[in-house]
Copies of this chain bind each other. A is one copy, B any other.
């Protein structure tokens, strides 16, 4: 079941139906969504280690948004960013509910992993669509960074599945 924090979006193969401008708009919107998701999640997590990691992810997505805005304004000077209604792949939304227990947290991290994985693949696809070597390089950068996030989340997810061990390791109560 898809939780309220995740809007599944269009499958990756639909990417060919949009212009670079639209895809960049989607990417910027997705980075904003991811940042807000991580910020709101961090507020609801009281395991210091994990909270700090999630805040770090929020900061990373902020930097990606800024980078994408630079690329956009460089490709489409003097144009406001257009955010298409559609988006490719899952888009994260802020966590507005109270989390109950570790299972809610595990579910959200799993969805975040899914979003990071699709984002990584999305940027890899964009690499093939932009023209210059410089822009290709930036897309590879973003794709690699999202893979980095994916594995970082996967590591925490793996441990959270065994809450007894996790809470012992992180020196937190149940």
Main secondary structure of the interface of A (DSSP, over half): helix
Give the shortest distance, in Å, between A149 (CB) and chain B (any CB).
8
Chain A 140-174 near chain B by CB (<8 Å), digits 1 or 0: 11101101111110111011011001000100000
* Contact residue among B56, B70, B145, B159 (Cβ-Cβ distance under 8 Å from A137): B159
B residues less than 8 Å from A169 (CB atoms): 67, 70
B residues less than 8 Å from A156 (CB atoms): 141
Contact, CB under 8 Å: B151 / A147: yes
* Contact residue among B67, B137, B148, B161 (Cβ-Cβ distance under 8 Å from A151): B148
Q: How far is the CA of A137 from the CA of B156 in the complex (A)?
A: 10
Q: How far is the CA of A84 from the CA of B52 in the complex (A)?
A: 35
Residues A165 and B67 in contact in the complex (CB < 8 Å), given A144-B158, A155-B145, A159-B141:
no
Indicate whether A80 reaches chain B with its CB closer than 8 angstroms.
no
Per the CB 8 Å criterion, the residue count for chain A at the interface is 27
B residues less than 8 Å from A137 (CB atoms): 158-159, 161-162, 165
Known: A141-B156, A148-B149. 10 other contacts (CB 8 A): A133-B162, A134-B162, A134-B165, A140-B158, A141-B155, A144-B151, A144-B154, A148-B151, A148-B152, A148-B155
Pick 29 A–B contacts, CB within 8 A, sort by A. A56-B56, A67-B169, A70-B169, A134-B162, A134-B165, A137-B158, A137-B159, A137-B161, A137-B165, A138-B159, A138-B165, A140-B155, A140-B158, A141-B155, A141-B156, A141-B158, A141-B159, A144-B151, A144-B152, A144-B154, A144-B158, A145-B152, A145-B155, A147-B147, A148-B149, A148-B150, A148-B151, A150-B151, A151-B151
